[in-house]
Chains A and B, each alone.
Chain A
Amino acid sequence: MGAAIDYSDLILKLENVNKSFPGVKALQNMQITLARGEMHAVCGENGAGKSTLMKVITGVYQADSGDMYLNGEKVVIHEPNDAYGKGIAIIFQETSLFKDLNVLENMFMGHEPVKKVAGFINNIDYAAMRKKADEIFEFLGITGQIDYDEKIDNLGVAAKQMVEIAKALTYDARVLIFDEPTAALTNKEVRALFRTIARLKEQGMSMLYISHRMEEIFEIADRVTVIRDGSYVRTAEIGHVTEQELISWMVGREMNEMYPKAEVEIGDTVLKVEHLKRGGETDGFPLKDISFEVKKGEIFGIAGLAGAGRTEMAECLVGLRKYDSGTVTLNGAQIHNKNYRDAINRGFVYVSEDRKKYGLVVPMSVEENLTMSILYRLTQNGLIDFAAEDKLVDRYMAELRVKAPDREFVVENLSGGNQQKVLVAKALCAEPKILILDEPTRGVDVGAKSEIHRIVSTLAQTGLTIIMISSDMPELLGMCDRVMVVKAGAKTGELKREEFSQEKVLKLAL
């Protein structure tokens, strides 16, 4: 590490920043300071407000209130170009590069050096571009590693990231922000990135680093700021803090409060799936011989990486997708759900992982969403029985404590947690016997998360059979009785609650 950092020499400082979206207070009295030459990590759970904070700093969002100081001077950043002009650049999780243009064109996109040809006709000065690019690549210590003329589309994830960093440097960035840069990298690529980051640090670059990977934060950061539910928790120097402390600041509550698993008497086998297979030619998600069974009152977890085929398997069970062969047995009788309506009538209900895309019609009201899958049960002489509908909706809104002013309230104006509750309530309206929850707490705040877990636990107690697909490992291990692990469309193992550990699940999933 370089020379000691003077934490009173601030390059960037934010104070009392507030930002609201419809239904969400994304940031509340947020603060953060970045010293010159410092590597400052920002960590927090999903939905804690990390990305929103970075977007406020870089002008993608405008804060509702609050002050930002750059080199001690108060600044207002109206749009991303302002941020670039002031030397603040961000490396996004998903790259913002144009995939059909080459490396050089991307690096200088929007501010290409030009030379005058005649009058007001300018030509792009490729020679000047190459010269500047040479300087930047040398600065980064990656001279000759990336071909300037290569199309972005032909580069790997790590190389794209390097181009992003190089692009940021073409703006003479003094503050670099990394938004979970290692999420899509292999171990080797992470090492290369860290070498580049170390080099940047030596050259005096100030950096913010968003991540929730503890080992990375402890390896490269000087200080760390923890945020939770859109609020600042605290800032600490690495070396004066332990991983345990960081986690407890991030979570802000005890584990057993988060995963309230009730004792349930497990009954007979309800659902039995044997040798489920599909080629997956149409959608690229094959299933290779998956078998499992779920008992009454059980919460059966399905773990695996994104794209392992978990969602597709669930959709096969409820008739939203087709499978080639295999048998599904419900209470001893063999069944086949030809379409989702068929499945609903048999008591299968699937709660989608993507509530805005598949789960809810967000511009419509809470009421219209809740009854969407069973509206035909609420008709009289072909017309909707509005009184019956109101009654049913009121009941489920109260039962799940959906916080909306009334049933006419438009779903898109609810917070993520309340939207998710509407989605669960919609499923319960259909009176399921087998409830399949796909990422039931993705993108909801911590409070709503524990509330949803409590609801799931209660449902299991009342004798529902629950299948829970989740990428949130603590959630799976906290809530489930058994967990099946799926990898590339095949079952790689099954664990009982007594044998649960994150390592075992990961080993099977990777």
Chain B
Amino acid sequence: MRKKFKVSYELIMVIILIAMVFVFGGLTGGKFFKPRIMIRCTSDVAYLGVQAMAMTLIILTSGIDLSVSYQMVCSGMVCAWVYNHAAAMGPVPAALLAIVACIVSGFVFGAANGIIADKTPINPWLITMSTMYIFQAISWFFGTSFAFSAGNPIVDIGNYDIGGVVPTQLILLLIVFVIFYIVEKKTTFGRYVHAIGYNENAVNYSGISAGRLKFWVYTLGGLLSAVAALMYMGRSWQINQETGMNMNIEVIALVVLGGTSTAGGVGGVTGSLLACLIIGVLKKGLALMGLPGTVYNFIVGIVLIGSLILFAYLQKRKKLVSRRMAIENMDKQQ
């Protein structure tokens, strides 16, 4: 086997990630090198990373889910509402009930997107743009904001550091990543998700219902939004109507930064995880340097467009290489 060293997009991302740690380490006078800080900078973005895992699968099918952040807010509101109404049961049973309600509502919201994506030929941009408004309206029904106090297990777990170092937020992100990595790479489901993104017809003509697959992909999106809601509330002690603003774009940006093509087919969850870590380091590093949020936005924009240019360049190079191989292959046959 000819095993040549290949420059993959993921590899470049790992190098950038390491380089960023050193750059920030230098710029902040070594403050960034503390393991506590390095590990904890993922906490701020872990809930985005979790949503990005399902979003990766959705985008791989050449779909999109704009409603993702309002699914999160809505499940969060359901969770908080249930917790407050069940407070008399004591914090642990109430939290358990609230978590179940949160997950169930996330499932229902995701399934609602999924059913429409399965049964109609409507573009997912339009489906999820419409449901985005609906989910937002539903969340208003439960409340405009909730704040949690200490003693609520959701907050206690969400802010806990295992061994005083490793945050539960990071652990949850890694667990979700491992599950989704296996699903994407090692199951028939993952194979078909990629195939749908390239050519939905051919999947249907292989005896596989592309519609049913899409249903499950969007439903997973809803489920992980609920998980993300728990993580978000656990970390920030509260949830409110403003939480969902622009967050859908942040999640999509992570997936795109991770090298998943919005045309479908190309990409994977590994890139999305790396993108999440890069954004986490960037956020923390800039904050440690005492720079304002506008600088962060500016840099994220630059990073995004830079990554897209790099990705397009690598894709083109890959195509050229494989074309050359194809022509060599023909010459050999003759």
Contacts and interface: CB of A to CB of B under 8 A. Distances in A.
Contacts of A359: 202, 205
Nearest to A384: B186
Interface in B176-206: 182, 186-188, 191-192, 194-195, 198-199, 201-206
B188 A22 contact: no
A333 interface: no
Interface in B277-334: 322-323, 325-327, 329-330, 333
Given A339-B209, A358-B205, A360-B202, A368 B195 contact: yes
Nearest to A355: B202
Interface of B: 182, 186-188, 191-192, 194-195, 198-199, 201-209, 265, 322-323, 325-327, 329-330, 333
A78 interface: no
Interface in A376-422: 376, 379, 382-384, 403-405, 409-410, 413-415
Scoring B186, B204, B205, B325 by chain A CB atoms within 10 A of each residue's CB, the highest score goes to: B205
A343 to B, nearest CB: 7
Contacts of A409: 325, 329
Contacts of A383: 182, 186-187
Interface residues of A, number: 39
Interface in A169-214: none
Given A340-B207, A383-B187, A384-B187, A372 B202 contact: yes
Nearest to B328: A405
Contact of B329 (A320, A343, A405): A405
A373 B208 contact: yes
A415 B330 contact: yes
B120 to A, nearest CB: 15
Contacts of B327: 20, 22
A321 B222 CA distance: 32
A338 B44 CA distance: 49
A471 to B, nearest CB: 20
A372 B200 CA distance: 12
Contacts of B199: 357, 360-363
A363 B265 contact: yes
Given A20-B327, A22-B323, A361-B198, A340 B191 contact: no
A22 B204 CA distance: 27
B26 to A, nearest CB: 42
Given A340-B204, A359-B205, A368 B191 contact: yes
A266 interface: no
Given A320-B205, A360-B202, A373-B207, A413 B323 contact: yes
A454 to B, nearest CB: 18
Scoring B187, B322, B330 by chain A CB atoms within 10 A of each residue's CB, the highest score goes to: B330
A382 B182 CA distance: 10
A90 B198 CA distance: 34
Contacts of A455: none
11 contacts: A23-B329, A339-B209, A340-B206, A340-B207, A360-B202, A363-B199, A364-B198, A383-B186, A384-B188, A409-B329, A413-B322
Contacts of A414: 326
Interface string A90-127: 00000000000000000000000000000000000000
B59 to A, nearest CB: 16
Scoring A358, A361, A413 by chain B CB atoms within 10 A of each residue's CB, the highest score goes to: A361
Contacts of A376: 188
A409 B203 CA distance: 19
A359 B198 CA distance: 12
Scoring B194, B201, B333 by chain A CB atoms within 10 A of each residue's CB, the highest score goes to: B201
B330 A23 contact: yes
Contacts of B201: 357-358
Contacts of B322: 22, 410, 413
Given A364-B194, A368-B191, A382-B187, A25 B205 contact: no
A375 interface: yes
A162 B69 CA distance: 57
The 3 closest A-B pairs by CB, nearest first: A413-B326, A373-B206, A341-B207
A364 B325 contact: no
Contact of B203 (A22, A343, A361, A363): A361
A41 interface: no
Contacts of A426: 206
Given A372-B202, A375-B192, 9 more contacts: A23-B326, A339-B209, A344-B207, A352-B205, A357-B199, A364-B195, A364-B198, A375-B188, A403-B333
Given A23-B330, A373-B207, A405 B202 contact: no
Interface string A418-432: 000000001000000
B202 A22 contact: no
Scoring A22, A350, A383 by chain B CB atoms within 10 A of each residue's CB, the highest score goes to: A22
A17 to B, nearest CB: 17
B328 to A, nearest CB: 8
Contacts of B207: 339-341, 343-344, 373
A375 B191 contact: yes
A458 to B, nearest CB: 22
Contacts of A320: 204-205
Contacts of B182: 383
Nearest to B194: A364
Given A352-B205, A373-B207, A383-B186, A404 B329 contact: yes
Given A358-B205, A372-B203, A413 B191 contact: no
Nearest to A25: B330
A414 B323 CA distance: 10
Contacts of B187: 379, 382-384
B223 to A, nearest CB: 18
A312 to B, nearest CB: 14
Nearest to A344: B207
